[in-house]
Amino acid sequence: MVQTVRQQSGAIASFNKAVVVDRLAKTWSGKILGSTLRRIADGESYKVRSTIDDPAILPEIEAAVGSIACDKS
């Protein structure tokens, strides 16, 4: 997947690692909580928004991200 993005979009748009999760954190209106996911990936603290559809998803995502070494290199 990383190589495909690098080839089709270029090195600027590419990423180093990908984590596949069963579900994504979404608001009631269906928007994905990108900033919260970014904070989880960066190992930063985050706030559980009141508009999140299912707050139980966040620990699942944290566990999936924690299963690989996410660094900023």
What crossing angle do the helices spanning 34-41 and 57-66 adopt, rounded to 10°? Answer: 40
pLDDT digits (tens, 9 = 90+) for 8-53: 777 666 667 778 888 888 888 888 888 898 899 888 999 898 888 8
**Rounded Cα distance, 72 and 55, in Å:** 26
CA terminus-to-terminus distance, the chain = 18
11: which DSSP letter? G
29: alpha, beta or left, given left = phi > 0 and alpha = psi -120 to 50? alpha
Rg of the chain in Å (alpha carbons): 13
Q: What is the pTM of this model?
A: 0.67
